[in-house]
Amino acid sequence: MSEQLSALSLGVYPWQQDQWLQLQNMIQQQRFPHALIVGGVPGLGKLTFVNTLVAALLCQNKINDNACGHCKSCQLLAANSHPDFKLLQPVEAGKAILVDQVRNIQHSMATTAQQGGARVVVINGASDLNLNSANALLKQLEEPGNNSYFLLIHQWPKMVLPTVRSRCQLLDIAKPTPKQGLNWLQQQLSDDELTIEATESLLQLANGGPLKAIELHASKAQDLRHQMLVELTAILRGQKTPIEVAQIWQKKPLVPMLNWWVEWLNDLVKLKMTEDASHVSNTDIVKLLQAVAKRSDIVAIYTLLENIIQQLNFINQRRNLNPQLVCEELLHQWYFLVKSGN
């Protein structure tokens, strides 16, 4: 994060305004917690929010409780050389934060702030702390010292260790309202001439995260989702076997695909429980969901849903899985799903 701090424009997004004001009031009233976990679904701008918070905590000449951008502290922070700011994050993407990384900050947090103000540690990936590094952090969370703050970013959907979570105050960044998210996204993608329907679909695909929606649009995730639905339908119609589709899927990004599948199965549960399509989130595939709901058993739907969530957890825990076998098992359950209601 320190490498990105000077490159990012500080500030908060429109959907973060209320929570930013809440934190400003806490700083002003000297009630700001010594340890704060900032969470929320991907694509809400958690990193920008924390960047802005770091600058405000370290600034020596705040303007309306915001960083002034001009004092020595702000200049040092912008140059990634502030002595009272420390960053902890995995050395390599997908790896854990190691115990030695945590121990390396203990001395600086035990001494007087060099700039005479606050000391701030950002942990960019609270869920990347392994058991040893988390244990090394606990003492500092329990006895942080005066004017010392730990800001932890939770990379959803990974889990934060309970021992760490219990010593921090939680702040989940709220999703924008559908109208707010749509308006902001249309402004950002105005050059792409997307229809309102396409933009709404993109935001839904991103689980309400506008920044994630932009990322998905750039990676053509809508095409991947469409092809996934085509292949699931082909299995139900007997046009393709689970093994054939698994051979295709094991080469694709499984995490977003499994997350979409979870959403569709949640919609299936709603249809089985209420038979009311107005409760369905994925409105573009209502007919497919209704057809499957009529021919499936609620217990079988829940079983497949639980197995997909379990596989997602295994992936997030960095277990060495065989993608081909994972896909085969889940797709076989999908094939037998429409036979379970007979």
User: Which pair of tokens denotes residue 266?
Assistant: 């949640």
Please give the chain's pLDDT, 342 residues, in tens: 333 343 334 689 999 999 999 999 998 888 999 999 999 988 999 999 999 999 999 999 988 888 998 999 999 999 999 999 999 999 887 788 999 999 988 877 877 888 888 999 999 999 899 999 999 999 889 888 888 999 999 987 778 889 999 999 999 999 999 999 999 999 999 877 788 888 988 898 888 999 999 998 998 888 999 999 999 999 999 999 999 999 999 999 998 899 899 989 999 999 998 888 888 888 889 999 999 999 899 999 999 999 999 998 888 766 778 999 999 999 999 999 887 665
CA distance 8 to 97: 24
Give the orientation angle of helix 196-205 with respect to helix 221-236, to 10 degrees: 80
The fold adopted by the segment(s) 220-337 is Zinc Finger, Delta Prime; domain 3 (1.20.272)
* Helix 196-205 / helix 178-188 crossing angle, nearest 10 deg: 110
And the tokens for 68?
A: 């002034």
Task: Read off the pTM.
Answer: 0.75
CATH homologous superfamily of 2-172: P-loop containing nucleotide triphosphate hydrolases (3.40.50.300)
